[in-house]
């Protein structure tokens, strides 16, 4: 589906590397916490990266505002970072450990009594191997974190009630041998909480070496199958993932489900929206891909695209209607849907790779070595697999200075350690932090607009060769 339904995901890098937790493992490089959090640096660097992503990957993209801990930014700087990402056509999602208060959330979303955003997207990372959460610095199992997960969802619900700011919440969790036995229970407890996405990352040897955990391979070497089975236990159903494969199956699995029943109800009914054992669902998927294509665009444009598709090919309404009937049948009829309500919930597994494999594979790829080269045979099957996965990566980060985007695995394994050393020198903790100001953001926008104008003038004579590349 990569490049057909979606260009994949994006993330920021080197914009605020520090974090106030100390987890094992931790994907941040050893120097990350020596870098001061500085709003001015964050916003200007984000503008550079987003401008590049827009030119390289297209006008709209889903982009994680990620680094260290995003809520270490003052709410004002956090809001400016989100506004800057939106300005460049990105749909931002703030990535946080979730240890913040309602006051922070409100100051982020509301200014002078008026809401700044209609909707906030957050990825909230919770797992029992995280260290430093207020109230529960060392959880003994995943269930002990359930009230903290609920508290966060309740905070967003309160923000919606009081200020009309809608929300999209993803729940993230690193999985390793220590918490694998608790995954099914954690899924059972959080599947009806109000999260729209539950994402699991089997742990890899990335980031600060002193925080590496020894036995990670035991749960990652089966392509994540063991983890997926635990998630299925928690969801209470088989989770078919092959119909909408994003990139390499050894990196990603995804299953879109429907949850029948109100939020908080432990007895919700769950079923997949597309089942790989149903040939009609597979046919529906093919029709979506061939007739609609890319769906990552501004909602009003997507609506126009859908209407135009139906007007030009009205026969598509028949398979669409049949798919709706299948959903009603899986729900057990129309009455339960009307009576209990229905919500979407997506399950995702994303399996990062070990830094030492990624570094070796990236060296070869940077040298232009292809997979049929004898040097790849010599490097072994593991490096071959790493190269194949990097080549179909669905999670990109911008390196504007090099004029390219790189896989997030490469960013963490190869570039983060060097960049964070440099940032620790530039943004020393001894110096004073600077907040980004609206005037500075306006200046960035003006500069960007004049750059765009210049580039349009330059490119207008090159139509037909270069301009389609960024679409």
**Site map (CB under 6 A) of ligand SF4, residues 35-74, x = contact:** ----------------------------------------
Smallest separation, CB 409 to ligand SF4 (Å): 3
The least CB distance from residue 353 to ligand SF4, in Å, is 6
Using rule CB under 6 A, residue 415 touches ligand SF4: no
Q: Distance between CA 385 and CA 407 in Å, rounded?
A: 15
The correct pick among 19, 63, 85, 353 for binding ligand SF4 (CB under 6 A) is: 353
Whose structure tokens read 């992503």?
A: 53
d(CA 219, CA 92): 31
Please identify, using beta-carbon distances, which residue of 42 and 413 lies nearer to ligand SF4: 413
What angle, 0 to 180 degrees and rounded to 10, lies between the N-to-C axes of helices 381-391 and 355-366?
Answer: 70
**C-alpha neighbours within 13 Å on the C-beta side of residue 356:** 5
Dist CA 289 CA 266 (whole Å): 35
Measured from the Cβ of residue 428, the count of other Cβ atoms closer than 10 Å reads 11
| Chosen residue from 61, 207, 407, 417 binding ligand SF4 by CB under 6 A | 407
Residue 254 or 270 with smaller CB distance to ligand SF4: 254
- What is the closest distance, in whole angstroms, from the C-beta atom of residue 405 to ligand SF4 in the complex? 11
In this structure, what is the dihedral angle of CA atoms 324, 328, 329, 333, given to the nearest 10 degrees? -150
Nearer to ligand SF4, 99 or 357 (CB): 357
Is 395 or 415 the residue whose CB approaches ligand SF4 more closely? 395
Q: Which stretch binds ligand SF4 (CB under 6 A): 160-168, 222-230, 258-266, 390-398?
A: 390-398
Bridge partners (DSSP) listed for residue 252: 350
Task: Output the six-digit token pair for 18.
Answer: 């520090």
378 φ, ψ (degrees, to nearest 5):
-65, -35
Applying CB under 6 A, among 187, 390, 406, 423 the residue interacting with ligand SF4 is 390
Minimum CB–partner distance for residue 93 and ligand SF4 (Å): 16
Q: How far is the CB of 395 from ligand SF4 (least distance, A)?
A: 4
Q: From the CB of residue 277, how many other CB atoms can be counted at a distance below 10 Å?
A: 9
Query: Which tokens sit at 186?
Result: 């954690």
CB of residue 180 to ligand SF4, shortest distance in Å: 19
Between 3 and 466, CB nearer to ligand SF4: 3
Nearest distance from C-beta of residue 390 to ligand SF4, angstroms: 5
For ligand SF4, which is the closer residue by CB, 402 or 457? Answer: 402
Size of the site for ligand SF4 (CB under 6 A): 15
Q: How far is the CB of 184 from ligand SF4 (least distance, A)?
A: 24
Joined together, the tokens standing for residue 335 give 């009455």
408 binding ligand SF4? (CB under 6 A): yes
Residues in the chain: 471
Among 393, 406, 414, 424, interactor with ligand SF4 by CB under 6 A: 393
User: Which residue, 181, 177, 172, 262, is CA-closest to 219?
Assistant: 177
Question: Is-contact 322 280, C-beta < 8 A?
Answer: yes
Per rule CB under 6 A, is residue 170 in the interface with ligand SF4?
Answer: no
What strands, in cross-sheet order, belong to the sheet with 166-175?
269-272, 252-260, 342-350, 197-202, 166-175, 119-125, 90-96, 61-65, 9-11, 395-399, 404-407
Among 17, 389, 417, 423, binds ligand SF4 (CB under 6 A): 389
In this structure, are residues 23 and 137 in contact, taking their beta carbons and an 8 Å threshold? no
Least distance to ligand SF4 from the beta carbon of 258, Å? Answer: 26
Give 36 or 412: the residue with its C-beta nearer to ligand SF4: 412
Q: Measured between alpha carbons, how far is residue 390 from residues 112, 367, 395, 465 in Å? A: 46, 14, 10, 27
Binding positions for ligand SF4, 234-293, rule CB under 6 A: 247, 251-252
Rule CB under 6 A: choose which of 352, 355, 364, 415 binds ligand SF4: 352
Q: How far is the CB of 234 from ligand SF4 (least distance, A)?
A: 23
User: Would you tell me which residues interact with ligand SF4 (CB under 6 A)?
Assistant: 247, 251-252, 350-353, 389-390, 393-395, 407-409
């Amino acid at each position: 589906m990569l490049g057909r339904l979606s260009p994949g995901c994006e993330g920021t890098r080197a914009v605020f590397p520090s974090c106030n937790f100390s987890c094992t493992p931790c994907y941040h490089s050893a120097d990350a916490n020596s870098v001061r959090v500085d709003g001015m640096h964050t916003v200007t660097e984000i503008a550079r990266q987003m401008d590049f992503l827009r030119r390289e990957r297209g006008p709209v993209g889903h982009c994680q505002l990620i680094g260290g801990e995003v809520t270490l930014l003052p709410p004002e700087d956090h809001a400016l970072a989100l506004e800057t990402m939106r300005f460049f056509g990105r749909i931002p999602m703030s990535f946080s450990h979730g240890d913040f208060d309602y006051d922070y959330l409100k100051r982020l979303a509301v200014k002078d009594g008026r809401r700044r955003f209609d909707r906030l997207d957050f990825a909230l990372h919770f797992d029992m191997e995280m260290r430093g959460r207020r109230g529960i610095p060392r959880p003994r199992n995943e269930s002990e974190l359930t009230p903290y997960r609920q508290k966060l969802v309740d905070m967003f619900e309160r923000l919606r009630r009081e200020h009309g700011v809608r929300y999209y919440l993803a729940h993230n969790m690193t999985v390793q041998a220590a918490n694998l036995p608790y995954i099914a229970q954690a899924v059972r407890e959080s599947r009806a909480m109000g999260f729209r996405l539950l994402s699991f990352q089997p742990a890899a040897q990335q980031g600060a070496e002193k925080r590496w955990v020894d036995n990670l391979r035991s749960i990652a070497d089966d392509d994540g199958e063991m983890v997926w089975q635990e998630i299925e236990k928690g969801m209470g159903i088989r989770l078919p993932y092959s119909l909408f494969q994003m990139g390499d199956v050894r990196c990603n699995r995804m299953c879109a489900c429907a949850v029948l029943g109100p939020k908080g109800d432990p007895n919700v009914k769950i079923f997949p929206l597309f089942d790989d054992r149903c040939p009609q669902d597979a046919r529906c998927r093919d029709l979506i891909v061939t007739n609609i294509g890319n769906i990552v665009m501004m909602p009003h444009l997507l609506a126009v695209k859908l209407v135009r598709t139906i007007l030009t090919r009205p026969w598509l309404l028949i398979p669409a209607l049949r798919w709706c009937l299948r959903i009603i049948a899986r729900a057990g009829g129309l009455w339960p849907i009307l009576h209990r309500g229905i919500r979407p919930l997506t399950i995702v597994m994303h399996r990062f790779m070990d830094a030492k494999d990624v570094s070796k594979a990236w060296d070869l790829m940077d040298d232009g070595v292809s997979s049929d080269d004898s040097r790849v045979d010599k490097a072994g099957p593991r490096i071959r697999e790493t190269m194949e996965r990097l080549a179909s990566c669905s999670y990109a980060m911008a390196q504007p200075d090099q004029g390219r985007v790189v896989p997030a695995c490469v960013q963490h394994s190869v570039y983060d350690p060097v960049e964070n050393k440099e940032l620790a020198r530039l943004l020393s903790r001894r110096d004073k932090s600077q907040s980004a100001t609206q005037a500075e953001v306006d200046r960035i926008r003006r500069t960007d607009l004049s750059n765009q104008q210049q580039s349009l003038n330059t490119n207008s004579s090159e139509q037909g060769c270069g301009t389609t590349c960024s679409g």
